Structure 1
Amino acid sequence: MENIDTVALQSQAIQFGIQLVLAAVIFIVGSWIAKMITGVVRRAMEKREVEETVSKFVSNIVHAILLALVIVVMLSEVGVQTASLVAMMGAAGLAVGLALQGSLSNFASGVLLVMFRPMRVGDYVDCGGASGSVEAITMFSTQLVTPDNKIITIPNASVMSGAITNYSAKSERRVDLLVGVSYDADLAEVKKILADVVAADERVLKDHDVTIAVKELADSSVNLVMRSWVKSDDYWPTFFSMTENVKVSLDAAGISIPFPQMDLHIEKAA
């Protein structure tokens, strides 16, 4: 009887030893595979020029998840009941996810911003209800600098939840001016004056069409639209100077630019 028990114990010990060896092999090989997959993920993000902080953070998360799976498989090999362990890990992950729901949303939005790049540092944009030049895109927020040098910090989730207007994405922009003149003005002369203003500005791209046309017959003026193309960096200087030149040129030609007026009629009581 003792010999049978000894043989059984030896058999169990040998089997347990084999399981330990297999578990060690699983851990070593699994760790190597996890490291390899993490490296692939990191190189893929580096090729897309993802911000280094984000790429490292995502790579660490991927490596931690894969390593946790390897540990679960290893423990299962040595006979440990992993069902309850997996359930506990899932419950803990759910609790952490609910507690950090806002932060995780901002982080996920930050990853999308960096990966798809609807805007870059230095671009002038409208996003999240604010306007300014992008100073930084971090994991959780985006910083804008306004023209009067104020810094606006916007949560990334707010940036991604609405429309993003990027004024710097294209190298060229169209300058649109609306010019109102009196109904008594000679439209042919007005168009010639506006065309001369456009032609005199060296910043206007000559290989693009210029549009000068009547847009609407308003209550107190005839409104003409004046459209030309410039480099994006020249947009505001051209807009300001062209607006001034239109006013000066129309004044020199004796063409009035009407403004809203109100006539009051006072009747004397009998």
Structure 2
Amino acid sequence: MFAVIDTELLNKITEQGIAFLFDYGPKLLGAAIILVIGLVAALQVGKVLQRWLGKKDLEPPVRILIVRVVRLMVMGLTMMLVLEKVGVAIAPIIAGLGVAGVGVGLALQGVLGNLMAGLLIIFTKPFRVGEFIELLGVHGQVHAIDLFSVILVHADQSRVVIPNRKIIGEILHNYGSMRQLNLSVGVAYSTDINQAVAIVRAVLAANPRVLKNPEAIVGVCALADSSVNLAIKPWVKVGDYGAAAAEINQRVLEEFRKQGIEIPFPQREIRVLNTSEPAAIRAA
């Protein structure tokens, strides 16, 4: 009896399986082929796009984002074709994704705001990596431009992370990839100014951190109480700012000492005009 039931059940399952294969087999096979083609297409399109974008003047985060978005679009189109091939209605799915997207967008306003601001910064290029900028009360050399934030680094290697949405709409001071040092040194009024200026220029010419173009500015900037002040304003790369200032100050001091040029310190001259005391005071 059990053998008869098992045989009947097996025959029924076999018939249903054969019917399923005839009904859905071609659809499943077609869906599998579409899925494989879609995966291969997404990978190949990504590689081609990556090579093409590598020739463009784009920041690395933008290239990565564009490649990923295009790959996701290809995969999304592939999945819709697969679902349609197996007979699944995709219109309700698209509508559901739209509603879900609105909810996610409201929940991630800050994140999306940083993302859109990051794309705007990367495409408009108000500053680049390596340049020195100042905004929002902070300053530093641009270390990285990411999709969600900009990282500035100081001379002491501390970092400032600024959300991209805070940058858009703010006044930005971009110093560029080089900065001008604002140094000065005082010499005595008896000094040969032309000699002092020549010594300073020789020091600047010998320093490898000092840029040849633009030309450095060296000259008298003030006639102070105790000294004639010389302005020393060479141009250096942003990363050499602190080191160049220290090296130039040291070399100028050493060369002035060698040449006997005095760097005076503030002095007060007191003259006693009348040393005799009044008679009334002596009597007291």
Pairwise same-fold verdict (TM > 0.5): yes
Paired amino acid for 2:99: A
Paired amino acid for 2:217: T
Supply the distance in 1 between the matched residues of 2:264 and 2:236 (Cα, whole angstroms). Answer: 28
- 8 Å contact from structure 2 (residues 62, 122) kept in 1: no
- 8 Å contact from structure 2 (residues 201, 218) kept in 1: no
Distance 1:99 1:164, change over 3 A: farther
- 8 Å contact from structure 2 (residues 199, 255) kept in 1: no
Partner of 1:211: 217
Paired amino acid for 2:103: A
Q: Deviations over 1:201-246 (max 9, x none)?
A: 521659554433566899xx98764433456655433424545747
1:126-205 alignment, distance < 5 Å: 126=133, 129=136, 130-132=138-140, 140-158=148-166, 163=172, 165=174, 169=177, 174-177=180-183, 189-201=192-204, 202-203=206-207
- 8 Å contact from structure 2 (residues 105, 112) kept in 1: yes
Supply the distance in 2 between the matched residues of 1:68 and 1:54 (Cα, whole angstroms). Answer: 20
Paired amino acid for 2:133: D
Supply the distance in 2 between the matched residues of 1:174 and 1:50 (Cα, whole angstroms). Answer: 27
Is the partner of 2:40 in helix, strand or coil? Answer: helix
1:29-44 alignment, distance < 5 Å: 29-44=37-52
Taking structure 2 as the reference length, what is the TM-score of the superposition?
0.54
Distance 1:148 1:228, change over 3 A: closer
Residue identity (%): 28
Is the partner of 2:207 in helix, strand or coil? Answer: coil
Query: RMSD over aligned Cα, in angstroms?
Result: 5.1
- 8 Å contact from structure 1 (residues 178, 224) kept in 2: yes
Taking structure 1 as the reference length, what is the TM-score of the superposition?
0.56
Aligned residues: 235
Q: Deviations over 1:128-175 (max 9, x none)?
A: 5433456666553444443345343322444566537466x35xx543
- 8 Å contact from structure 1 (residues 181, 257) kept in 2: no
Q: Deviations over 1:20-69 (max 9, x none)?
A: 665555444334323322333344456679658983x6644433332222
Q: Deviations over 1:160-197 (max 9, x none)?
A: 66537466x35xx5434456889xx58x9434422322
Distance 1:132 1:82, change over 3 A: same
Distance 1:164 1:175, change over 3 A: closer
- 8 Å contact from structure 1 (residues 197, 246) kept in 2: no
Distance 1:146 1:237, change over 3 A: closer
- 8 Å contact from structure 2 (residues 133, 142) kept in 1: no
Is the partner of 2:155 in helix, strand or coil? Answer: coil
Supply the distance in 2 between the matched residues of 1:134 and 1:230 (Cα, whole angstroms). Answer: 16
Q: Which residue of 86, 90, 101 maps to 2:98?
A: 90
- 8 Å contact from structure 1 (residues 191, 213) kept in 2: no
Is the partner of 1:147 in helix, strand or coil? Answer: coil
Partner of 1:4: none
Supply the distance in 1 between the matched residues of 2:149 and 2:31 (Cα, whole angstroms). Answer: 43
Distance 1:144 1:224, change over 3 A: same
Q: Which residue of 222, 230, 233 maps to 1:227?
A: 233
Q: Which runs of 5+ in 2 are unaligned?
A: 1-20, 268-284
